[in-house]
Structure formats: C-alpha cells, structure tokens
Amino acid sequence: QVQLVQSGAEVKKPGASVMFSCKASGYTFTGYYLHWVRQAPGQGLEWMGWINPNSGGTNYAQKFQGRVTMTRDTSISTAYMELSRLRSDDTAVYYCARASLTGYFPSYYFDYWGQGTLVTVSS
C-alpha cells in the first residue's frame, strides 16, 4: 500500500533552517510528483511547491522562493524539503503529498499524504 512517512517533530530558533524528509513506499517513487503543503496551528492549508522525483525538477510557490529547496534521493525513495531563515510564523505542520496522475500525466491534486511534521519556531 502507498505510504509516505515523514520525519519527526522539530524545534528551531528564528533564523535557523530545517530539513524535512518524506519516505515513499508502495509505489514507483519516480512516477509521481511530490508536493509540500503546510498548515499553521488552527489554520488552513498552504501549498509550498513540488518536486518531480524522476528529473529532480521543482516548482516553488513565489512566497517561499529563495527560502525553500526541494530535493530527492531516488535510491531510497525519499524526498526532502529544506526551509531556511525560519520565522515564528513558519510554525506549522508540514505535509508531503503525492500528486495523482491523469493517464500518464501528473495531476495537481493529492491522493496520498504523509502524517505531517510539526515544526515549532521559537526563541
């Protein structure tokens, strides 16, 4: 069965960086885009960007350009997202989510989600 297993919770100070991981299993890792979506406490969902695990190509939301880097290691079916220059308003649960396919082409809605990683940014 498809699973996305994310790394554990983190506590960071303002200005630091954090690296998230998302290990995929149960499907061909390189066949589906992986997206990152975050959710601040009590708030809605915010899309951050995607990575194509096959090519390594990425597309980031403008809001996070310059602060976010998405990478992958196909040998261990794992995607990573690094967020730098953390601020208190980056406190949120960060999800990786697999984008579905329409035929052979990527779609942009999410059929499987990781369990989320809570990052708390506090001095």
Partner 1 sequence: EIVMTQSPATLSVSPGEGATLSCRASQSVSSNLAWYQQKPGQAPRLLIYGASTRATGIPARFSGSGSGTEFTLTISSLQSEDFAVYYCQQYNNWPPLTFGGGTTVEIK
Min separation Cβ 102 and partner 1, Å: 9
Helix (H, G, I), strand (E, B) or coil at 75: helix
Positions touching partner 1 (CB under 8 A) are 35, 44-47, 49, 59-63, 95, 97, 100, 107-111, 113-116
| Residues 6+ away with beta carbon under 8 Å from 15 | 85, 86
* Strands 46-51 vs 34-39: parallel, antiparallel or unpaired: antiparallel
In whole angstroms, give the CA distance from residue 116 to residue 60.
19
Nearer to partner 1, 52 or 100 (CB): 100
Min separation Cβ 109 and partner 1, Å: 4
Min separation Cβ 81 and partner 1, Å: 15
